[in-house]
Structure 1
């Protein structure tokens, strides 16, 4: 019984290490991108600081989230972008309009926490 418990513990530790390593690969890849421009998006309870943000199309843009009131996240519909807390991510946008939403349930006005991002 002791051997079985020991093996289960070893397998659990190795699994956690493998999962952490897999998650770290994306972080290194994302941080390797150089940003041509940085756009800071401030979030406070139930709103972003602007209704519309403009970014250059086909360029690497660092989206930087700054939570000034409450706990918020940022997701961009149609892109694999999900920033939480006071984080940032480098993204390359094709020309068009994108919807920005808060990705962290932040209270009663969470569903209305929406802005537009225009890449031109």
Structure 2
């Protein structure tokens, strides 16, 4: 009897762990489908470009790849925070937006800034 209870407890725990591990989908896979994808590469302590351009009022997937270090990407003034190795679909109005690393990544973290031009 005790052995059966022990095995049942282990099975429940294993199912819980497997369910938690399966929840890491990109937001891009959600209800929005991107019309294009822009990949942003992050390394200590810079993004691969000073400026990125995307079309206004269209669904665009922003994908962050960590080349060196652990980084995430935020768009100032927007509810967007993309962890390294994932993406998010955005649909922005025309303008210039500031991109920043949102994970304190070391001494050069404050300088890790780029511009997103939406036109």
Aligned length: 96
What corresponds to 1:34 in structure 2?
33
What corresponds to 2:75 in structure 1?
76
- Gaps in structure 1 of 5+ consecutive residues: 1-19
What corresponds to 1:118 in structure 2?
117
Cα distance in 1, alignment partners of residues 103 and 63 from structure 2: 16
- Gaps in structure 2 of 5+ consecutive residues: 1-19
What corresponds to 2:100 in structure 1?
101
CA RMSD of aligned residues (A): 1.8
Cα deviation code 1:9-37 (max 9, x no counterpart): xxxxxxxxxxx9xxx7xx77972101011
Runs of 4+ with >6 A deviation: 27-30
Cα deviation code 1:24-61 (max 9, x no counterpart): 7xx77972101011000000001000000000000001
Query: What TM-score comes out, normalization by structure 1 length?
Result: 0.75
Cα distance in 2, alignment partners of residues 29 and 65 from structure 1: 12
